[in-house]
Amino acid sequence: MTFSRRSFLGNAIQLAIITIAGFGSASALAAKPVVMGFSQVGAESEWRTANTLSIKDAAKKDGINLKFADAQQKQENQVKAIRSFIAQKVDVIAFSPVVETGWDTVLREAKAAKIPVILTDRAVNVTDTSLYVTFIGSDFVEEGRRAGRWLLERAKKTPDRTLNIVELQGTVGSAPAIDRKNGFEQAIAGNAKIKIIRSQTGDFTRAKGKEVMEAFLKSQGKNINVVYAHNDDMAIGAIQAIEEAGMKPGTDIIIISIDGVKGAFEAMIAGKLNVTVECSPLLGPQLMQVARDVLAGKPVPKRITTEEGVFPAEVAAKEFPNRKY
């Protein structure tokens, strides 16, 4: 309500000015571009690069003036960016929150300035959910469950075998790390032979994924049967560590990851990754549409969930040409 009233008032004032100037026309009104401030998490993964491209492309195609800020995985940078968008009086703010908590104050500032906020990709944990209009993104708990269910199916082939899992977690406190851990644990619960023996963050990057896997291999060695990585980049880092340790990823150690980026398909085709659970980064077009709807005062659902699948290595070669990121 507040938002639609605001844009109506804005348009009315603009129309008055245009009419006074003697150029009054509906097309002149429609030409005023919407300004969106977007605070991105960073450039930590292949997924993120595809997400940034999708948002920039969609804004361009949609004629939206995008003010893009990269937070380099730091919450304080995101808070600064949002404050600067408020100061610039953008029409709408969108952001992908690096972690779930700590947003109340800055979101209250946006609300006080009557600027609607749209969350994309990652969720926030705030008591007052009126601080954002909607959240567009994946169901990360379900992604974790899908990864766990795939492992349960695979384990049926070797029912007597113990499967010791090492987990490479995403960024500490981020929605995908919290939810993907929970979903996976839910799926494997109650199986005495399938258990997580080590779990540590690799911050969603290849370099950290590799580093943490090296430490796991040093302390656990041949005890490790499965790697569950919260994203493909960390899995690819782990694959390198396993190869350098003289073992065969995908054969000696089962590798499971999430995202479904091209690098993961290449690793599956090479027989080094066993499965990737899809998480689509192509959120740009939907974000622009939702922003336009919000500014037009149209009701939008509080939660917009992305549709996704699971891709085991067996279908990788066939699916590869269809991948868009």
Radius of gyration over alpha carbons of the chain, in Å?
22
**With respect to ligand GYE, which residue has the nearer C-beta, 116 or 209?**
209
CA–CA distances in Å: residue 93 to residues 19, 87, 110, 128, 228:
30, 12, 8, 17, 34
Nearer to ligand GYE among residue 144 and residue 194 (C-beta): 144
DSSP 68-117: EEE-TT-HHHHHHHHHHHHHTT-SEEEE--SSSSS-HHHHHHHHHTT--E
Q: What does the binding site for ligand GYE look like in residue numbers (CB under 6 A)?
A: 44-45, 47-48, 121-122, 176, 204, 231, 233, 258-259, 279
Contact 134, 118 (CB under 8 A): yes
Task: Report in angstroms how near the CB of residue 233 gets to ligand GYE at its nearest.
Answer: 6
Angle at Cα 271 formed by Cα 268 and Cα 275, nearest 5°? 40
Residue type, position 321, single letter: P
| Minimum CB distance to ligand GYE smaller for 116 or for 144 | 144
Q: Give min distance, CB of 258 to ligand GYE, in A.
A: 6
- Which residue lies nearer to ligand GYE by CB, 37 or 176? 176
The letter for the amino acid at 9 is L
Nearer to ligand GYE, 222 or 303 (CB): 303
